[in-house]
Amino acid sequence: MAKIAALVGEMFEDVEYAEPVKEFRKAGHEVVNVGLKAGATVKGERGKEKAKIDKAFTEVSIKDFDAIFIPGGYSPDHLRLDKDAVSFTRDYVMSGRPVFAICHAPQLLITADVLKGKKITGWPSVIQDIKNAGAAYIDEPVVEDGNIISSRRPSDIPEFVKACLKRLSELYAPV
């Protein structure tokens, strides 16, 4: 099994957080919510889901996790205001371990300055930001480039989760 950090802040997209987390756990993986303040509860933008932050970025090391998962909504816009969130993300991506990114997640990756030369997908509003960051925007349900697996929107979740779980099963021993 793998230990996955879900990087989550206020106004995350409810289903983009909840569905993959449910599926990751169902497959036997552990999910830890990493955010700005340990013990705080952050809310989904649609008011349907909540997430309790288990650990702050200042309390964790990239070595603690086998993968990171970045849900969309406005959570990435909140997280990228925090220098510890940005440096953790940058270091994690550079480590080569798996990064699962959906919807607005590229915003955090752009501020972490790790997209140059990469192929990635995401929510259509950030297409120009992705291109300006030196990456290629690919309009597909799932895009895999090196350690980054990305998807565009809630309707991509089934294919996104499948690709993430496949990657985890290739890298880490089954439970």
Positions marked active-site? 103
Is 147 a binding residue for a copy of itself by CB under 8 A? The answer is: no
User: Which one of 41, 87, 125, 155 is in contact with a copy of itself (CB under 8 A)?
Assistant: 125
- How far apart CA 159 and CA 134 sit, in angstroms, is 26
Stretch touching a copy of itself by CB under 8 A, among 56-64, 125-133, 149-157, 162-170? 125-133
Nearer to a copy of itself, 107 or 121 (CB): 107
Chain positions 39 to 68 lying near a copy of itself, rule: CB under 8 A, are none
User: Which one of 28, 39, 124, 146 is in contact with a copy of itself (CB under 8 A)?
Assistant: 124
Task: List helix spans (H) across the chain.
Answer: 14-26, 75-79, 83-95, 106-111, 127-132, 157-171
Is 107 a binding residue for a copy of itself by CB under 8 A? The answer is: yes
Q: What is the DSSP string of 104-138?
A: TTHHHHHHTT--TT-EE---GGGHHHHHHTTPEE-
Is 133 a binding residue for a copy of itself by CB under 8 A? The answer is: yes
Is 81 a binding residue for a copy of itself by CB under 8 A? The answer is: yes
Which residues, at least 6 apart from 113, have a Cβ–Cβ distance to it below 8 Å? 90, 133
User: Which one of 5, 31, 78, 157 is in contact with a copy of itself (CB under 8 A)?
Assistant: 78
Unique residue bearing structure tokens 């290739």: 170
Please, are residues 34 and 97 in contact by the beta-carbon 8 Å criterion? no
